[in-house]
Amino acid sequence: MTDSPGAVPSLMILVAGPYRSGTDGEPARIAANVEAMTRTSLALYRRGHLPVMGEWFALPLIEQARSQGDPGDPDAEIFHPVAERALARCDAVLRIGGPSEGADRMVATAQRLGKTVYTSLEAVP
């Protein structure tokens, strides 16, 4: 929360954007998508909010599951489900970037949970 009377309260906001979408699996393009979400997260932080990215939670867990040789598909088991769990604790979601089934899934989840959905950084108080 902010200390100033009448100030906008600090929100925890999930940043949802393309991760693999539009990359053809190319690591440099995936990294560019993550960088765009991270850049937006920093802007949210500097505006007084607490940004959250599902990738911050999911990617280390997926890497660990793979290193342990866990059976199944760690991406399917972890990637979107962990973001949805994080979103359940957030106040809002900020949808950025181009087409993405996963980011659209986060928006739909936010709407189902009654969370605020922002579609631009400028719209965030």
**pLDDT tens digits, 22-62:** 899 899 999 999 999 999 999 999 999 999 999 999 999 99
Q: Give the predicted TM-score (pTM) of the model.
A: 0.90
Whole-number Cα distances in Å, 119 to 17, 33, 108: 10, 16, 13
Whole-number Cα distances in Å, 56 to 46, 78, 124: 18, 12, 21
Nearest to 54 by CA among 12, 116, 98, 23: 12
Nearest to 95 by CA among 57, 124, 125: 124
Express each pLDDT in 79-119 by its tens digit: 999 999 999 999 999 999 999 999 999 999 999 999 999 99
Do the domain assignments include residue 5? no
Cβ neighbors of 106 (< 8 A, separation 6 or more) are 14, 16, 54, 80, 83, 84, 87, 93, 95
Do the domain assignments include residue 31? yes
Do the domain assignments include residue 74? yes
Do the domain assignments include residue 2? no
Do the domain assignments include residue 1? no
User: CATH no. for residue 77?
Assistant: 3.40.50
Do the domain assignments include residue 7? no
- The total of structural domains in the chain comes to 1
Instruction: Domain of residue 62: give its range.
Output: 12-123
Do the domain assignments include residue 33? yes
